[in-house]
Amino acid sequence: MLSVSDGDTIVVDMNGKNEKVRFIGIDTPEKNHPEFAVQCFALEAERHLTEMLGSSKVRLEADPQNSNRDVYDRLLRFVYLPDGTFVNGQMIEDGYAFAYTGYSNSKLTELQNLEDEARAANIGLWDSCDVDTKNGRPLTNPVE
């Protein structure tokens, strides 16, 4: 069983235990953050991820350059569909996520390149939202 919490976090059943999994290297606009109002494209990112994953099983891959869990005890993973689609990268490529540069990871350059391409093509959040940086982190404008 798999469910989507938001655009960069899923819950998967791992041997009968539900585990929250945070996608390594991406950040989507916030919908549940205590410091921010719901941001532009947060709900669209969640919907896009839900549609992309469907009822598929996913393959989770740890990153040797990253810790196993974050401060919220979520597993940190690269996520792949059965057909090999790199979900983390696809979310950025489709314009629903930013490359998360706050922590190093083995695919950071690839993810940054995908963000540059999405921004240049003006797709997804790059076409629909005002993007600003706060403390080095890109944020979209609040939903009105």
Selection from 66, 94, 70, 93 nearest residue 78 by Cα:
66
Distance in angstroms (rounded) separating the CA atoms of residues 26 and 84: 18
Count of domains observed in the chain? 1
Selection from 60, 62, 55 nearest residue 14 by Cα:
60
Q: Which of 30, 46, 93, 115 is catalytic?
A: 30
Per-residue pLDDT tens over the stretch 68-116:
999 999 999 999 999 999 999 999 999 999 999 988 999 999 999 999 9
Tell me the whole-structure pTM to 2 decimals: 0.94
Q: Give yes or no: 30 in active site.
A: yes
- Rounded mean pLDDT, 22-36: 90
CATH number at residue 12: 2.40.50.90
Q: Give yes or no: 74 in active site.
A: yes
Domain that holds residue 127: 2-140
Q: Is the pLDDT of residue 1 over 70?
A: no
